[in-house]
């Protein structure tokens, strides 16, 4: 099987499974595919750096990070304040 075709099928499968809501798996596949086409490790690392920085600038990823950290902090506060013997 052609490697390009394999990555195309994997991308379609992941996109369908997550309904295009998670950009990181697609970026990881794109990084793997582009990294396998170069011969030097430096070029592969530049590709990985470019994919990662593009992912961090994506509004979907930014919103997910913000939401997950806010919810984690809220859960920690509720757990801390909800224990017997502690008052708010």
- What pLDDT does 16 receive? 92
Split at pLDDT 50, 70, 90, the class of 28 is very high
Query: 36: which residues sit within 8 A by CB, 6+ positions away?
Result: 3
Please tell me the distance from the alpha carbon of residue 76 to that of residue 88, in angstroms, as a whole number: 14
Residue length of the chain: 88
What's CA 63's distance to the chain center, in Å? 12
The pLDDT tens digits of the residues spanning 15-25 come to 999 888 888 89
Per the CB < 8 A criterion, the answer to whether 49 and 38 are in contact is no
pLDDT of 43 reads: 94
**What does the pLDDT look like over 29-85, one tens digit per residue?**
999 999 888 989 999 999 999 999 998 888 988 888 888 887 777 767 666 666 555
Structure tokens at 87: 């008052």
């Amino acid at each position: 099987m052609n490697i390009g075709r394999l990555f195309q099928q994997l991308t379609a499968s992941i996109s369908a499974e997550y309904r295009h809501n998670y950009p990181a798996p697609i970026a990881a596949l794109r990084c793997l595919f582009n990294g396998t086409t170069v011969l030097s490790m430096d070029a592969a690392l530049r590709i990985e750096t470019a994919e990662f920085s593009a992912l961090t600038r994506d509004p979907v990823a930014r919103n997910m990070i913000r939401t997950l950290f806010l919810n984690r902090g809220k859960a920690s506060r509720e757990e801390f304040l909800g224990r017997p013997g502690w008052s708010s």
